[in-house]
Every structure is written in C-alpha cells, then in structure tokens.
Chains A and B, each alone.
Chain A
Amino acid sequence: MAEDMSIESYLAQGGVLTNPTNVPPRYRAELLKLMATFVDSELAGAAGFADIINEGPGIKERIAAARIVLEKTDNADRVLRIMGEFGADTARYATHHPWTARLERDADIGATRTEHDMRLAVFNYPLQGWADAVVMNLLMGRAVVVQMAEFSMVSYQPLADAFRAIAPIEAHHAELAEEGLAKLLEDGDKTAIQASVDYWWPRVAASFGSAESKKFDTLKGWGLRHSSNAELRNRWTAEAGAVLERLDLKAG
C-alpha cells in the first residue's frame, strides 16, 4: 500500500481529515478562521436578533424570532465545540466579546471586519425595527443556505458533519423570514420594506467576500473551499432574487 502520501497531496485529491492531530499548521489556522467566522456571525446575529423579539407583532412572530435566536446560538455552539478540540477555550470564547455591539446604520465598511471579531461585515450593521429585521433575516438567511452548501463539503470531516446538520436549520430560518415578510406585505408598508431590501441587499452581497481572493487557490487545494466567492454570490443573487420576485419586491 502506498503509505508515503503527503497530507497536502491527499487533500488536493479530495481527501478528508478527521481529527486535530493530523491537521497541518497552516490548514489548522485557516480552518479555525473559517470556524471563528461562522461562530462569531451566528453569535452576533443571534444577539442582534434577540433585541428584536419583543417587537414582533404577534405571539407567533415572537416564537419564530425566539426560536431563531435559540437555534443560531445552538449552531454556534456546535462549531465552537469543534474549535474546542483544537484548544480554544469555549466557555471564555462565547462570552469574551460584546456580541450585541453594532456600528452606525450608515457606516460604510464594505467587506472588512472589525478589529476584534470575525463576524461577517453585514453583522456589524444595526437592525431598525421588526420589518427591517425580517428582511435582513430573509436575505442573509438565503446567503447562509448558499454558504452552508459550500461548507458542508469542507475537508475537515467533523466540521462538514456539523454544517450538514446545521444547513436544514438555517434553511428553515430563511423560510420563516419569507413567511413573515409575506404576512407583513399583506398589511404593511411596502415602501418601507423595499427600502430595507435596498439597504440590506448590497451589504449581504458583500458578505461573500471579494471576487478576487488570492487565498482561494490555497484554500481550494486544501479542500476548505470549492466554489469561488463570485460563484457563491451569483448563486445567492439568483436564489434571493427569485424569492423577492415571488413577494413582488425588487432586488437591490
């Protein structure tokens, strides 16, 4: 049996790694970054949405919002536990940072992250009331669906397994948001909702990262990425655009 295959060529040929002991150093760092990005985004997203629960117009809406907060926190926990197997202090990690912190609504930060956490840029913008939160959840929810499909293929098997379990839960959040938005449109202010779509659309689009990523080839070689940022964004544009069309709204 060929026993002298390098981990790098094994990964390049589609091999998967299964525990922290057989992970090369640079792969380890990029894997941890990927996990931190997910955990930080989920924790920041859940924390921001928690404040909105009480603005829900009815008990069904509040249950849906509370459930989303619960499940996003739970999804963060699943991935954080994998970070813990690499040595991260999971208890401290979950509380070391003010996840509710937001910038100004009109701050223009593009795709850059803030200094102190890895949340996607979009989670640095504050929500403005219930309808705005539902729109954000719909657009970002569809983006997460696209991202989960991509990251369910990562070459670190415990993480791929976690994302495969998380994907349908996140997809359901986008469905809840779509139902919620349809209801709001029945008896709500369509102009305000369209304004929210216009606000969030470019910001969610930016969360896919720049089209030119120098690192992509390396990450692809390691099996940590498969489709490019541009491909993922195009997929989201098509899918989220179709949802908006169903609701008779315009994509930004």
Chain B
Amino acid sequence: MARFHDLRVTDIHKTTRDAVVVTLEPVNGAAEEFKFLAGQYLTFRRDFDGEELRRSYSICAGTDEGILQVGIKKVDGGAFSTWANEELKVGDTLQAMPPMGSFHTDLNPENENQYLGFAGGSGITPILSIIKTALKTEPKSNFTLVYANKGVNSIMFREELEDLKNLYMGRFNVIHVLEQDAQEIDLFTGMVTEEKCAQLFKSGWIDIEHVDMAFICGPEQMMLGIAKALRDHGLDDGQIKFELFASAQPGRLKRKVASKGSASSANQATVAISLDGATQTITMGKDVSILDAALENNIDAPYACKAGVCSTCRCKVLEGEVEMVANHALEDYEVEKGYVLSCQSFPLTDKVVVDYDQ
C-alpha cells in the first residue's frame, strides 16, 4: 500500500494572481521514493477541521532538474488549493504519497518524435514537465503546445514557456488560445474545441500528419473535443495520453451521518442496502457478512477476493454499526469516513444502512 512521506517546502512563489508554484524536498531519507516520470502527480493529504482531504497535483519540474515542484491553482471553494495559495509558506511540511500516474511516454535520445500537447489552465503542470524532459532527453524531437486560458493574466508559467522557446529554438512552439483576450490571429481566440483543433490542423499551424504522440490535460469537455479531433485525424488511442484536471476531483466530502442505531444482543439484523440507486432491505443473521447476505438476496454487490485484500466490495455505513473483522485495503481515513469492506463486515446493531454508491 502506498505510504505518505513528509516533504518540506523550500520555495513558494506566485505564477499568476491565483496560482502558486511550490518546491518541495523529501525529508527523512525518502528522496529515492520521490523519483518521478515526467507527467506524474503527487497526492497530498491534510487535515481540515478534523476531516482529511486528499488532493492530487501534477509535478511541473523536469525529471533532471533535481527538484520536486507542483503548481497549485486556487479553485473556488477548494479548501486545499486556497490553503496552499494563502497560508502555505517556506519551511512548512506537507505529506504526500510517492509519484503516481501514467501520463507519460517512454523517452529515448534516439527518437525523432513530434509531440503535441494541449493544456487548459492549470492543466499545464504535467505537460510542462513532459515538455522540459522530452526536449532535453530527445535532442531530435519537437514539441508543439496548444495552451488554452481565459486571458493573458491567467497564463501559468508564461515566462518559463518563453524561456523554453529561446532555449530550444525551433524545437518548441507555443500557441496560446485565449477565451477573452483578442489576439492578432483570429484563430487563437476562443475555446479549444473539436472545431478549433480541426482548423489548427487544416491551416497548417499544426502538422497533425506527423504527430507521434499527443498529451491532453484540461477540463472534461475540452479533452473530449480534442480527443475526437485527434482520432478523426488518424491518431489511435495509444497515441493519445490524457490527464484529467484537478477540478474534476470530488468536492469536499460530506460528514458522516451520526449513528442512530443502538446495540442489541439479538441475532438478527435488518439491513438496508443501496446499490445503483435502488435500496433493498433484508433481514439477516449477525453471523453473516453484509456482502454474503446481499448476494444471497440477489443483490449484485461488487466483490472480488472476499479476503479483505482488494477493496472491490467497499461500501459506506450510513446508519448503525458493523464489525470489520479484517481490513488489508482501506486506510484509516476511509474507515473514519464510514467505509467498510462488506466481505469482512458483520452487523452489530439491529439496524444497519449501507450504501455502495458513495
């Protein structure tokens, strides 16, 4: 199971009015665990008013820069991003899991590839890491970036991208597409949609026929449109890499509903089980697991190992109490929120309400 490590903040600076770039250093000898591939992300955890929140942010540093750096854009109502933008300071300690994610491609100095990247807003962070790493590792490869933002003021890493253009003259090209600010070329105003992509390909700004690999990171709608345009122009699924934007992560989790059930010594329990929007109430023995009881009653509850190892059968206890006899998969914070492994959980109270849909 992935473990959290302490990281110290060694630098923090604003890249736009509402986005910070945070540089981190693993402490307690965890440096080896934080080696990363360009395009991977870190998952942070922090306690807000007694409730643990986890947020993933992509690493924006190149793999050979020798630093860990993430970009965090403030999201309306986002507890973690607001805190990172307003309160986090040099010297603070953050907790993160080692880098994860498969938003990358294998690089080789011999490659002569044409890469194409699409970033929307803070979706630039993993793509920046890939740009820096690919151009450095593959001297014969080129990268074209289409970067969508609301306006000039909201462009993250604007100067850094200009520097990269100068450093890799002729090998790195950026097309800024701005939603609100007018530009000299009409094509570069508006949103990056399927149609916009088709126009960029047709007008020759992007040589789509020779693209070897494309990377897309942004909001859902934008990714769908771009992916469609790329497929229509001959790229197959293996040539299109996606990373879903941080804003798509679920919002703040609701607090666990207080237990109303009371303990009892009777052998039978009434258990309400919600799955796929339907709720069925069954009477079951307290010596039967919630999962087995559900299956016996023809409820198609999910499971795989039945040994408390894989977490497929995870559900949430909304009311009453259960005893989970083994748990090799859920972490403490999930258990605190009321999640249990239904294959290992037996009713303790006479009434239990569980939900597989949460």
Contact = CB atoms under 8 A, between A and B. Distances in A.
B310 A32 contact: yes
B299 interface: no
A148 B303 CA distance: 22
Interface of B: 1-2, 41, 43, 54-56, 100-103, 120-121, 148, 179, 191, 218-224, 227-228, 237-238, 241-244, 247-250, 275-276, 300, 302-307, 309-314, 328-331, 334, 356-358
Contacts of B43: 21
Contact of B248 (A7, A85, A96): A7
Interface in A101-149: 115-118
Nearest to A3: B219
Contacts of B248: 7, 10, 22
A122 B36 CA distance: 40
A222 to B, nearest CB: 12
Given A1-B120, A1-B148, A25-B358, 15 more contacts: A1-B219, A10-B221, A14-B227, A14-B228, A15-B244, A16-B223, A21-B249, A25-B314, A26-B275, A32-B304, A86-B311, A87-B330, A89-B1, A96-B309, A161-B102
B302 A32 contact: yes
B357 A153 contact: no
A215 interface: yes
A10 B309 contact: no
A1 B306 CA distance: 44
A10 B222 CA distance: 10
B300 A215 contact: yes
Given A1-B222, A3-B219, A93-B309, A87 B41 contact: no
B329 A89 contact: yes
A87 B43 CA distance: 14
Contacts of B303: 33
A215 B275 CA distance: 13
A19 interface: yes
Given A33-B302, A84-B2, A152-B237, A157 B242 contact: yes
Contact of A26 (B223, B243, B276, B334): B276
Given A22-B249, A92-B328, A29 B312 contact: yes
Nearest to B221: A2
Nearest to B248: A22
5 contacts: A22-B244, A32-B312, A33-B302, A87-B1, A157-B241
Which of B102, B120, B237 has the most CB atoms of chain A within a 10 A radius of its CB? B102
A33 B304 contact: yes
B294 to A, nearest CB: 12
B311 A1 contact: no
A114 to B, nearest CB: 10
A88 B329 contact: yes
Interface in A127-183: 152-153, 157-158, 160-161, 164
A21 B245 CA distance: 11
Interface in A1-54: 1-3, 5, 7, 10, 13-19, 21-22, 25-26, 28-30, 32-33, 36-37, 40
Contacts of A84: 1-2
A69 interface: no
A228 to B, nearest CB: 18
Interface in A179-233: 215, 218
9 smallest beta-carbon distances between A and B, as pairs: A36-B304, A29-B302, A32-B312, A89-B328, A10-B220, A2-B221, A158-B102, A5-B220, A88-B310
B243 A36 contact: no
Given A84-B2, A118-B304, A19 B312 contact: no
B309 A14 contact: no
Contacts of B305: 36, 93, 96-97, 116-118
Contacts of A7: 220, 248
Given A22-B244, A87-B331, A116 B312 contact: no
Given A3-B247, A157-B102, A164 B238 contact: yes
A240 interface: no
A1 B179 contact: yes
Contacts of B244: 15-19, 22
A92 B309 contact: yes
A83 interface: yes
Contact of B329 (A10, A25, A30, A87): A87
B11 to A, nearest CB: 26
Contacts of B223: 15-16
B148 A29 contact: no
Nearest to A94: B309
A36 B358 contact: no
Contacts of A15: 220, 223-224, 244
A185 B351 CA distance: 64
